[in-house]
Amino acid sequence: MVPALPPRQISTASSTVPADLSSQTAVIGSVPKKGPIMTKSFFPDAHVTVLLNKINQLQASSITALVEAVYQELREHKIKKIAIETKIKEVGEKRKDTKIWQLW
């Protein structure tokens, strides 16, 4: 058998324990709709021109150098390096004869 609570704890216990648990399950069961999923490698179309200009301008043989240059240019837009690298591989290729990154 469990003893009753003292009077000083009854008022605090009732305010911390919800009276109706069924109302909580209704809140937990409803899931808000999520917006479109943004992957880590999402590169905004608005900044593609900056990326293309850097590829043409630098003519780098290293993808790391290209990623760093574009990242420094777009730092205030908070674009991740993985997104930049993915987009470079999407729009460009490393030529075997000249060994530099160029646009398709």
pLDDT in tens, 9-32: 776 555 555 555 555 544 555 555
Asked, for residue 31, whether it belongs to a domain, the answer is no
Asked, for residue 54, whether it belongs to a domain, the answer is yes
Task: Decide: 101 and 63 in contact? Cβ < 8 Å.
Answer: yes
Number of domains in the chain: 1
Asked, for residue 84, whether it belongs to a domain, the answer is yes
Asked, for residue 95, whether it belongs to a domain, the answer is yes
Say if pTM beats, i.e. exceeds, 0.85: no
Q: What percent of the chain has pLDDT over 90?
A: 56
> What is the pLDDT, as a whole number, of residue 61?
93
* Parent domain of 73: 45-103
Asked, for residue 89, whether it belongs to a domain, the answer is yes
Asked, for residue 10, whether it belongs to a domain, the answer is no
Asked, for residue 30, whether it belongs to a domain, the answer is no
- Secondary structure of 33-78 in HEC code, one letter for each residue: CCCCCCCCCCCCHHHHHHHHHHHHHHCCCCHHHHHHHHHHHCHHHC
- pLDDT at residue 38 above 80? no
